[in-house]
């Protein structure tokens, strides 16, 4: 970078700019190291390709995730209820699911 291109930059910005080597397209790209975390296994996708899959923690094994959308007032009310009862939203939603099952004549099994 020429002196003209450095005009208006602070001294620390100029030093930082000089410390970073310019990117070159003719150099091979080195993959970043894989972060350490939960063990990874591989599964085959419907398209036949292998993809890594993080192993679920024991508390979530054999369970499925369910997502749904709430209006802002409903979300706020649920959050307030969670704070007032000192129970996590996960626990409140399991109770709500069991109550729905019960109202439909089904077994209350969400909290297993």
Q: For the chain, what are the domain ranges? A: 72-103
In this structure, the strands spanning 50-54 and 40-44 are antiparallel
**Residue 10 to residue 16: CA distance in whole angstroms:** 10
pLDDT of 53-102, one tens digit each? Answer: 677 788 888 888 899 999 999 999 999 999 999 999 999 999 999 999 99
Using only C-alpha atoms, the chain has a radius of gyration, in whole angstroms, of 26
**pTM across the whole model:** 0.51
Identify which of 96, 110, 95 has the alpha carbon closest to the alpha carbon of residue 63: 110
């Amino acid at each position: 970078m020429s002196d003209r291109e450095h005009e208006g930059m602070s001294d620390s910005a100029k030093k930082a700019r000089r410390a970073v080597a310019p990117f070159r397209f003719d150099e091979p790209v080195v993959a970043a190291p894989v972060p350490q975390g939960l063990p990874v296994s591989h599964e085959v996708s419907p398209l036949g390709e292998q993809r890594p899959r993080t192993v679920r923690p024991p508390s979530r094994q054999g369970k499925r995730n369910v997502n749904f959308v709430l209006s802002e007032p409903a979300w706020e009310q649920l959050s307030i209820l969670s704070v007032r009862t000192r129970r996590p939203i996960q626990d409140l939603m399991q109770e709500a699911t069991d109550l729905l099952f019960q109202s439909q004549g089904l077994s209350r099994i969400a909290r297993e």
